[in-house]
Amino acid sequence: MKHILVVDDEPRIAEIARDYLERAGFKVTTAGSGADALAFARSRRPDLIVLDLGLPHVDGLDVTRTLRRQSSVPIIMLTARVDESDKLIGLELGADDYVTKPFSPKELVARVRAVFRRIDAAPERGDIIRAGEVTLDKRRMQASVGAQSIDLTSTEFELLATLASQPGRVFTRAQLLDAIRGVEVESFDRAIDAHVKNVRRKLEPDPRNPRYVLTVHGVGYKFAD
């Protein structure tokens, strides 16, 4: 059974999220502070974290920043901040997705299931993607450039796999959102830009002059052919 950590300092919101996720078949633990979330994540290693950005003292951005130095555990942000720039900060720090408060519990469950579908999808035997020096092992969700392994979150891996599977093909941001989400949800195009920025930072020798993940201005992105 997948174990989810829900982190929110508002007990009622944490309780609603827990109830819906448990009904969906997940084991759920709740935490009310960033410090408790980090302690639990280190000791119990949850399969996914639902994380409120507006935590007191150690906020959700600080928690995400700390977690990403230690782990690639999937993170879904809960945010009451409606400004796109606030959401982009969380995504650029390595969060996989976000849900805006007030949120639909059913939508939260759908987002969680979409993340787990990406991680648990059983690829066909020998499902290895090779594009130039980049190799992606979808079975193990491992990525490398030449002999150098790179550590990607599940969202970053799926984004790179989508692009690298068809070098030269231009993908719109909407197509990439659909590929990494697996469910039709409200979002904004710049979320993809944040994930691409993270992939480039880890993948490219010089992220400012990318060799692999190229921008097609006015359209989207492609993997170099």
**167 lies in the same domain as 103:** no
pLDDT, one tens digit per residue, over 175-205 is: 888 777 654 444 566 788 999 999 999 999 9
pLDDT band at 98 (very low <50, low <70, confident <90, very high): confident
pLDDT band at 126 (very low <50, low <70, confident <90, very high): very low
Q: CA-CA distance, 83 to 94, in Å (whole number)? A: 18
- pLDDT, position 188: 61
Contacts 24+ apart (CB under 8 A), 169-175: 169/222, 169/223, 170/216, 170/219, 170/220, 170/221, 170/222, 171/220, 171/221, 171/222, 172/219, 172/220, 173/220, 173/221, 175/220
Q: What is the mean pLDDT of residues 163-184?
A: 80
User: Domain residues for 143?
Assistant: 128-223
Assign residue 35 the CATH number of its domain: 3.40.50.2300
Question: What is the domain count for the chain?
Answer: 2
Q: What's the chain's average pLDDT?
A: 88
- SS in 3 state form for 178-211? HHHHCCCCCCCCHHHHHHHHHHHHHHCCCCCCCC
| Res 4 pLDDT > 50 | yes
- pLDDT, position 184: 41
| Res 131 pLDDT > 80 | yes
**115 lies in the same domain as 134:** no
Helices (H), 6-104: 11-23, 34-44, 60-70, 84-93
pLDDT band at 2 (very low <50, low <70, confident <90, very high): very high
94: left (phi over 0), alpha (psi -120 to 50) or beta: left
- pLDDT, position 164: 93
**20 lies in the same domain as 90:** yes
**80 lies in the same domain as 180:** no
**94 lies in the same domain as 11:** yes
Phi, psi of 94 (to 5 degrees): 120, 5
**74 lies in the same domain as 141:** no
Tokens of 3: 């174990």
Assign residue 160 the CATH number of its domain: 1.10.10.10
| Res 166 pLDDT > 70 | yes
Write down the pTM of the prediction: 0.71
**40 lies in the same domain as 64:** yes
**74 lies in the same domain as 181:** no
Burial of residue 85 (CB within 10 Å: 0-12, 13-18, 19+) is exposed
Domain boundary (120, 139, 156) is at 120
**Are 195 and 157 contacting, i.e. CB atoms less than 8 angstroms apart?**
no
